[in-house]
A and B are shown apart, each in its own frame.
Chain A
Amino acid sequence: MKPMRLATLRTLGVAVLATAMAAPALAQQQPAQQNAATMDAIKSRGTLSCGVNTGLAGFAQPDSQGRWTGFDVDYCRAVAVALFNDASKVRYVPLTAQNRFTALQSGEIDMMARNTTMTLSRDTSLGLDFPAINFYDGQGFMVKASLGLKSAKELNGATICVQPGTTTEQNLTDWARSNSIQFTPVVIERVEEVVGAYTSGRCDAYTTDVSGLAATRSAQPNPGEHQILPEVISKEPLGPAVRHGDQRWADLVRWTHNALLAAEELGITSKNVEQVAASDSRPEAQRLLGKTGGLGEMLGVDNAWAVRVIKAVGNYGEMFDRHLKPLGIQRGPNALWTQGGLQYAPPFR
């Protein structure tokens, strides 16, 4: 190598050193968000980052114009309305089963509404919090009606389609072992692929949450050709999740869900909410809609938050009817407690 000009070398050396030292500095410029309240971070950013499914009919899917719609998506919108009075201030981050927890842990998203089952280990060792259960589900089986099965116990020797990396997969093996059933799995990650495998007859049965089965069934050209077996082999409480450790933020998500339930219970809909707010004299409705009690301020938003949320997305029942009913999903355990279901909002007071 021939002598290099001193100046060139020095410049280069300085540049390399500067870059090396600047890299960590640049990256650390943003103060650690976890210490500051999530809600303040979201407010200063101006948008809510919400993790959703990459595509699950009824819960989260982009329509032909690329707008995200679905039951879970409405939860993102509801929280955004509570914060900003603008349902469009949401950044939807589509997540696979693999990267959903990392995305939440790392702060890439603020909340996750991605039909995620609440379990003890997820609540504790994954550093998550499940503020609410917005959908009570359970795992079931769907088979072709032509097989003439009466019970899932008759599935011995069958080929069963299942998505990997979910609680579904583990429930299936647990159930098969305890009932000494032999089965051949077909394990496919993407939902459209696994449904395709079932409908084409690659599998005898398809197992996932009953809501998913109902949605798949109703989407078939002839829903009558498929039957959902009566056994429900697991509990799948699905709900929005947030990072562990920021209670104020978890509170807002929790009470947004509760407000949607309370609204249904009180008969408040997106159509009549303003009228009710103006005229209804029931104390609970008054408190929910922020006429009295100052409940919104306790949550860190203004008192009329519930009015805005209900006006934007409707009450729980409306959301259900809009996204899930067309898919043939019944209210079942998700009916209000007054109608024999499990959905129950604690008092607004």
Chain B
Amino acid sequence: MSDTAADPRLLRAPPKRGIRLSWADERLRAIVWQVLVLGVVGGIVWWLVRNTQHNLEVRRIATGWDFLSREAGLPIAEYVIPYTPASTYARALLVGVLNTLKVAVVGIILATIIGTLLGIARLSKNWLLSRIAGAYIELIRDVPLLLQLLFWYTLLQALPSPRQALHPVEGVFLSNRGLRLPWIEWQDAHSFALLGLVLGAVITFFYARSARAKQMADGQPRKIWPAALGLIIGLPVLIWLGFGAPFTGDIPALRGFNFAGGMAVTPEYFALLLGLVTYTAAFIAEIVRAGIQAVAKGQWEAAEALGLPRGLIMRKIVLPQALRVIVPPMTSQYLNLTKNSSLAVAIGYQDIVSIANTTLNQTGQAIEGITIIMVVYLTISLSISLFMNWYNARIALVER
């Protein structure tokens, strides 16, 4: 009853007629159907839960979340927050979540850039370039991602060993242990400078907005870039100088078995990123191409008639309009990339699936392990959907 009352359509039904106990009454039928379906589904779920409880008991499988606070004892190669095998399962799982986010966020940014370039290349007037982009897109889309990941990983392993590492620029080493880049020894000053950078960017954003509003009001264009330059580059540099300009290079060097120091990118991470980016970029390219083609030809012609250069037409006229077509399918590509990052388990990058998998194997608690994986992905998917919906609504508003 309460279910049907929520439906405004049913509320609009003839006002003073009670429910008749007859099949001819639409509302009664709706109620019966819903009760029936809910009953069947509920029954099945109840039956499964009962079986599960019984099985867990009979097989003496531990349940509950106690294991989270136990010592994990599993080695993890890459972590953003401090971790040792003596840490708890909860921390190991958190490391896994952060590793997933690390590959997903970087992957989304790179795939968007490369995919957009590819999509534009696909529409290039240069026949060879457009054909190569087309062949690439077709080839990548018709082979399973898992196979591509395995292929990339095998290929990366064929790089030379650390002792014979490729050494293109001073301090940069490429070997089968991954990529080592020089880095600076991180100090508080750097953190504050980074904060200054963010602050500068935010202020610039609001400044640009007010400048645009003023331009809309009086038609006078205003120069934004000097202030932007000062805020985005000047502010962090000033802060850094204020702290006494600390700078100590952290150059990687061969020590013992491997390189020490510098910033490391492991082959597992690199292979996963490479696979995800090349794969997703192929899909994004097609979305971008379709989006650009969806912009009416008259827009191009009108802009050309105004004498605008091609790059400016693309940036100022075509892309903003294409974005409206592009954003919704792009959202699903971002979701795909995130979910596909779970294939990391096949090539040894320790994301949440890999770590939850090991956890469930060591503790025997399959239900908890898989619940964790699902909750994490549902949360990430939902967050991306929400963000992209917000963005979509924003760019849609621009249309007056």
Contact = CB atoms under 8 A, between A and B. Distances in A.
A and B touch in the complex (CB under 8 A): yes
Interface of A: 1, 3-4, 6, 9, 13, 16-17, 19-20, 23-24, 97-98, 101-102, 105-106, 124-127, 156-159, 162, 164-165, 169-170, 172-174, 176-177, 183-190, 193-194, 196-197, 200-202, 204
Interface stretch (B189-197, B284-292, B345-353, B391-399): B345-353
B242 interface: no
Nearest to A143: B257
A23 B161 CA distance: 59
A125 B348 contact: no
A23 B86 CA distance: 47
B47 interface: yes
Given A157-B255, A165-B362, A193-B347, A202 B43 contact: no
22 contacts: A1-B30, A4-B29, A17-B40, A23-B44, A98-B357, A98-B360, A101-B364, A124-B60, A126-B61, A157-B257, A159-B257, A164-B361, A169-B74, A170-B73, A193-B150, A193-B153, A193-B346, A200-B157, A201-B157, A201-B161, A202-B176, A204-B257
A106 B54 CA distance: 12
A165 B86 contact: no
Contacts of A159: 177, 257-258
Residue among A183, A188, A196 facing the most chain B CB atoms (10 A cut-off): A188
Interface in B44-86: 44, 47, 55, 58-62, 73-77, 85-86
A190 B36 contact: no
A20 B75 contact: no
A185 B76 contact: yes
Given A190-B346, A197-B348, A204-B257, A173 B177 contact: no
Nearest to A6: B23
A202 B47 CA distance: 49
Contact of B176 (A127, A164, A177, A200): A200
Interface in B363-385: 364, 366
Contact of A187 (B47, B255, B348): B348
The 4 A-B residue pairs with the shortest CB-CB distance, nearest first, are: A165-B361, A200-B157, A188-B348, A185-B75
A24 B29 contact: no
B75 A173 contact: yes
Contact of A20 (B32, B43, B361, B366): B43
A104 B354 CA distance: 23
A17 B358 CA distance: 41
Contact of B157 (A13, A101, A174, A197): A197
A170 B74 CA distance: 6
B364 A126 contact: yes
Interface in B73-123: 73-77, 85-86
A97 B158 CA distance: 28
Contact of A174 (B73, B150, B347, B357): B73
B2 to A, nearest CB: 20
B363 to A, nearest CB: 10
Given A105-B59, A173-B85, A9 B23 contact: yes
Contact of A157 (B30, B59, B256): B256
Contacts of B268: 186
A75 B192 CA distance: 66
A9 B360 CA distance: 46
Nearest to A128: B59
Contacts of B366: 102
Interface in B1-49: 23-24, 26, 29-30, 32, 36-37, 39-40, 43-44, 47
B92 to A, nearest CB: 12
Nearest to B361: A165
Contacts of B44: 20, 23
Contacts of B332: none
B240 to A, nearest CB: 32
Contacts of A158: 256-258
Nearest to A2: B26
B267 interface: yes
Contact of A16 (B40, B47, B154, B350): B40
B149 to A, nearest CB: 11
B179 to A, nearest CB: 13
Contact of A184 (B26, B158, B258, B358): B258
A106 to B, nearest CB: 8
A98 B369 CA distance: 12
A201 B348 contact: no
Contacts of B257: 157-159, 204
Given A16-B37, A186-B348, A187-B76, 7 more contacts: A127-B58, A164-B358, A165-B357, A173-B74, A173-B75, A187-B77, A204-B258
A13 B249 CA distance: 75
Contacts of B154: 196
A164 B26 contact: no
Nearest to A144: B161
Nearest to B37: A16
